[in-house]
């Protein structure tokens, strides 16, 4: 028995290999990205793998491969499933031939996301199974089970790890890696794969009819487990990772309760009814939406069961749960059963009463986006409107040049909406290369077609940076390191009808200023492509530039460079001069911003 | 009470007889993940259950990071407030930021070398006096403060400050020193191994139990 200390996403990647996968696709997104990153780095890779241009495309690639009979998995973050909702809501009728897992990693508590949403709702909506692992080991072991289940019931399945699963680490008991033995053979079957009304109608009926057998099957699985406690009249139903916190809380409070763990859907009605009939009071502990709670209440009503059911409020509906939240909720709900002393920490420590400076994430030293934001602010002025997008450059909020962020690709379309609203202020939106190729191209086509007066800055660092530097069609290589012809952003912009296109080096501040001034004055959609490799990627690739330093005798202490916000630039209050620290990577933009020529390159 | 038998695969997770919760905090890029990997891997090598939680993604861009490593835990990966036995702080202000996780009397091993956030360099916020922070932490905790960055530099690379602190922590963490060293060997690229072994030793010498 081999045990390894593994990241949750590494355990999931291992589970995918142990299931003998044929095709892997995905679009990067925290907390899901490492799954494909780990799978693409496997030396003995015997499956097809790609980073797709967006989640809708990625899901469709996986559907195609599964239609041909290959075990296929597609990964994304929760919001990616919104992009892929269109294929999801019809493939759920069509069903599948090869096992098809759609993995969407949820991010309760918004650790690295613009929203929090509960993917279990999508499973209900699409009436497909959902696997919601409680532990990292379960996450690995569930993958092969989910593929089998998908094939047995000919249905796509959702797989929903959360941040604490994906970015947790634990000792994982490994199984055998199964070679890819998938034999692709696309058999024509229009009644299953051509979802026109006549073919689709019976598929809807079929999807409803398979709910009961699927639920009964999962009831016997290790994923939905009822532990009855003979000498207790209270019960707890808990789902996913919350079931681990709930168990720890019961233990800490010394509460004796029957316990139902639900980590696979559709839900186990018989187990739920057994628990309800045994208990006078049942608490439902689940993260985010009351998915289990609503179902339990319906079951109780249908079966005339009067057990007291408690769920959301006191259990919070926002943010992730943890042991402490579960302990406090249980102590208040089960007042008679809980050992009260266990609740309070005796003799708490005296904590420092010191005001700390906030330490939010920031753009890296030498990041080309900082230069773009600086010039955009200078040229457009602080009253202009700056819609932005999803990526590292959302951190441009600290530069005062990010006014909207909603979803991938929305910067350009929101900018055009503002432009058409009658708003007279200048508009300059920012979007990264990967995000532009994800869903920004449509928005640009629309803005150009409908002749919005606005500027689009494509922040082109040739990589999908925020999620861990995954390649995209602009990079020049595929997910598995095969050379590809990088797309021409200029040609795409021209092809959709853009008449003003400039491509400029992000580190050439004067050239940027000229380009953005012309762009601002252009009557229509103007595009400036701000080019420079991601500073981290460049450094890893061996690019070394001479660092810069402040000449104290020339520095007037105006702080213009300090306000540029580069972490390599500080201010010496004693001598009232700026200081460039040892972390400088030599982008040289601060030297071009300095009005007194007080920053210069340190030549070796 | 009748024992709530544990479900799923957790019974095989490893030994739970010794429970020791470690919080590792610092600034994105300082190597908090390597530090927690060394401890987690060592715990697994000794057959102990271990659960850990990490900060990835957005928070890595120079932001504040907190990693939890729960040795001997068969439950969740998040250390409850007031529950940590030991803290490894790669940066002094971050030690203060996460002090609420510590048990009264717990051990805090802290690097005294500050990393100023841009909120400080741009003059929007003040950075507190390091000595004052150490003093305030010492009221309820056993604080072992020294400049781990300088020690790492002396060992041959400032990036090894994380391993210096692991060396200092080795006096307290219920893991065999040799197991920890073996894990450093397994995790660090060969060309940096000597520096890291020196760093471990230097940290170990800097602190006494």
pLDDT at B58: 61
Minimum CA–CA partner of A245 in chain B? B76
Contacts of B64 in chain A (CB under 8 A): 359
Is the pLDDT at B1 greater than 60? The verdict is: no
Q: Is B79 part of any domain?
A: yes
Total domain count for chain B? 1
Ranges assigned E (strand) in B62-182: 64-71, 84-89, 102-111, 142-146
Q: Which residue segment(s) compose the domain that A119 sits in?
A: 3-209
Contacts of B126 in chain A (CB under 8 A): 355, 357
Residue-wise pLDDT for A366-399, tens only, equals 999 999 999 999 999 999 999 999 999 999 998 8
Residue-wise pLDDT for A187-237, tens only, equals 999 999 999 999 999 999 999 999 999 999 999 999 999 999 999 999 999
Q: Which residue segment(s) compose the domain that B164 sits in?
A: 14-111+124-206
Residue A227 has its nearest CB partner, among B7, B125, B137, at B7
Contacts of B52 in chain A (CB under 8 A): 168-170
pLDDT at B9: 39
Q: Is A302 part of any domain?
A: yes
Q: Are residues A158 and A279 in the same domain?
A: no
A170–B63 C-beta distance less than 8 A = no
Quote the tokens at residue A100.
Answer: 């098809």
Contact with chain A for residue B133, Cβ under 8 A? yes
A467 phi/psi in degrees, rounded to 5: -85, 0
Residue-wise pLDDT for A555-596, tens only, equals 999 999 999 999 899 999 899 999 999 889 999 999 999 999
Task: Identify which has the larger pLDDT, A46 or A339.
Answer: A46
Q: Are residues A202 and A271 in the same domain?
A: no
Q: Are residues A163 and A301 in the same domain?
A: no
What 8-state DSSP symbol labels residue A318?
Answer: S
Q: Is B2 part of any domain?
A: no
| Rounded-to-integer distance, Cα A574 and Cα A591, Å | 22
CATH classification at residue B177: 3.40.920.10
Q: Are residues A285 and A332 in the same domain?
A: yes
Total domain count for chain A? 4
Contacts of residue A422, defined as CB under 8 A and 6 or more positions apart, other chains included, come to none
3-state secondary structure A335-370: CCCCCHHHHCCCCCCCCCCCCCCCCCCCCCCCCHHH
Q: Are residues A417 and A500 in the same domain?
A: yes
Contact with chain A for residue B9, Cβ under 8 A? yes
Minimum CA–CA partner of B67 in chain A? A168
Q: Is A363 part of any domain?
A: no
B76–A244 C-beta distance less than 8 A = yes
User: A172: part of which helix (H) or strand (E)?
Assistant: strand A168-173
Peptide bond into A140 cis (omega under 30): no
Q: Is A360 part of any domain?
A: no
Size of interface A-B (CB pairs under 8 A): 219
- Picking from B2, B107, B118 by the largest number of A CB atoms within 10 A of its own CB, the best residue to mutate is B118
Q: pTM value?
A: 0.96
| Rounded-to-integer distance, Cα A4 and Cα A2, Å | 7
Question: A-contacting residues of B 92-131, CB under 8 Å?
Answer: 93-94, 96-97, 99-100, 102-106, 116-123, 125-128
Q: Are residues A374 and A397 in the same domain?
A: yes
User: A301: part of which helix (H) or strand (E)?
Assistant: helix A291-302
Q: Which of A34-48, A343-357, A549-563 has the lowest mean pLDDT?
A: A343-357
CATH classification at residue A570: 3.30.70.20
Q: Is A184 part of any domain?
A: yes
Please tell me whether the interface predicted TM-score (ipTM) of this complex is above 0.95. no
């Amino acid at each position: 028995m081999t045990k390894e200390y593994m990241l949750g996403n590494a355990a999931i990647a291992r589970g995918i290999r142990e299931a003998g996968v044929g095709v892997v696709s995905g679009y990067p997104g925290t907390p899901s990205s490492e799954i494909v990153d780990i799978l693409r780095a496997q030396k003995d890779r015997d499956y097809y793998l790609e980073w797709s241009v967006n989640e809708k495309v990625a899901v469709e690639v996986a559907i195609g491969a599964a239609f041909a009979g290959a075990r296929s998995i597609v990964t994304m973050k929760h919001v990616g499933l919104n992009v892929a909702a269109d294929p999801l809501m019809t493939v759920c009728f069509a069903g599948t031939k090869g096992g098809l897992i759609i993995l969407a990693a949820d991010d309760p508590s918004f650790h690295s996301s613009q929203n929090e949403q509960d993917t279990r709702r999508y499973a209900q909506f699409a009436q497909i199974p959902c696997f919601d692992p409680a532990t990292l080991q379960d996450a690995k072991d569930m993958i092969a089970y989910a593929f089998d289940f998908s094939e047995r019931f000919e249905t796509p399945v959702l797989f929903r790890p959360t941040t604490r699963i994906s970015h947790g680490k634990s000792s994982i008991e490994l199984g055998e890696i199964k070679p890819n033995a998938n034999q692709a053979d696309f058999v024509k079957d229009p009644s299953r794969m051509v979802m026109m009304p006549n073919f689709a109608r019976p598929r809807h009926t079929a999807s409803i009819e398979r709910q009961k057998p699927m639920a009964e099957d999962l009831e016997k699985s290790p994923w939905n487990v009822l532990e009855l406690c003979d000498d207790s009249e209270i019960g707890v139903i808990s789902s996913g990772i919350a079931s681990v916190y709930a168990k720890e809380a019961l233990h800490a409070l010394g509460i004796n309760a029957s316990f139902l763990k639900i980590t696979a859907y559709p839900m186990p009605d018989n187990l739920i009814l057994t628990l309800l009939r045994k208990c006078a009071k049942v608490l439902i502990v689940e993260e985010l939406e009351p998915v289990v709670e609503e179902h339990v209440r319906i079951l109780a009503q249908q079966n005339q069961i009067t057990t007291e059911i408690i769920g959301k409020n006191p259990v919070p509906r926002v943010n992730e749960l943890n042991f402490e939240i579960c302990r406090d909720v249980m102590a208040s709900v089960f007042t008679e059963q809980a050992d009260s002393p266990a609740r309070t920490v005796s003799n708490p420590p005296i904590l420092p009463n010191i005001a700390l400076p906030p330490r939010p994430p920031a753009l890296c030293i030498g990041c080309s986006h900082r230069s773009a934001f600086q010039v955009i602010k200078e040229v457009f002025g602080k009253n202009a409107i700056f819609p932005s997008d999803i990526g590292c450059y959302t951190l441009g909020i600290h530069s005062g040049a990010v006014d909207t962020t909603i979803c991938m690709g929305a910067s350009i379309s929101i900018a055009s909406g503002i432009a058409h609203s009658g708003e007279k202020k200048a508009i300059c939106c920012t979007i990264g290369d990967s995000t532009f190729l994800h869903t920004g191209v449509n928005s640009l086509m629309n803005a150009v077609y409908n002749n919005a007066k606005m500027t689009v800055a494509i922040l082109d660092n040739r990589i999908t940076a925020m999620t861990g530097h995954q390649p995209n069609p602009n990079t020049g290589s595929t997910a598995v390191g095969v050379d590809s012809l990088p797309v021409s952003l200029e040609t795409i912009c021209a092809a959709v009808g853009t008449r003003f296109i400039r491509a400029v080096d992000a580190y050439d501040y004067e050239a940027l200023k000229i380009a953005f001034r012309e762009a601002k004055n252009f009557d229509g959609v103007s595009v400036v492509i701000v080019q420079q490799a991601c500073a981290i990627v460049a450094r890893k690739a061996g690019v070394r530039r001479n660092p810069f330093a402040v000449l104290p005798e020339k520095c007037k202490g105006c702080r213009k460079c300090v306000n540029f916000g580069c972490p390599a630039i500080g201010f010496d209050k004693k001598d009232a001069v700026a200081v460039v620290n040892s972390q400088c990577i030599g982008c040289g933009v601060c030297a071009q911003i300095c009005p007194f020529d007080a920053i210069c390159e340190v030549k070796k | 009470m009748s024992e709530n038998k544990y479900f799923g695969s957790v019974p095989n997770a490893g030994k739970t007889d010794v429970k020791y919760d470690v919080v590792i905090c610092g600034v994105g890029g300082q190597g908090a993940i390597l530090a927690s990997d060394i401890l987690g891997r060592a715990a697994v090598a000794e057959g102990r259950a271990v659960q850990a939680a990490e900060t990835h993604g957005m928070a890595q861009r120079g932001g504040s990071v907190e990693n939890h490593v729960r040795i001997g835990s068969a439950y969740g990966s998040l250390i409850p407030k007031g529950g940590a036995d030991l803290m490894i702080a790669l940066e002094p202000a971050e030690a203060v930021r996460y002090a609420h996780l510590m048990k009264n009397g717990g051990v805090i091993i802290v690097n005294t070398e500050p990393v100023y956030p841009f909120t400080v360099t741009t003059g929007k916020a003040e950075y507190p006096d390091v000595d004052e922070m150490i003093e305030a932490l010492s009221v309820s905790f056993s604080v072992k403060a020294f400049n781990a960055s300088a020690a790492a530099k002396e060992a041959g690379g400032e990036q090894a400050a994380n391993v210096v602190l692991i060396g200092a922590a080795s006096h307290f963490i219920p893991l065999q020193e040799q197991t920890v060293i073996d894990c450093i060997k397994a995790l660090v690229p060969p060309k940096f191994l000597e520096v890291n072994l020196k760093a471990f030793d230097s940290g170990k010498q800097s602190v006494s139990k």
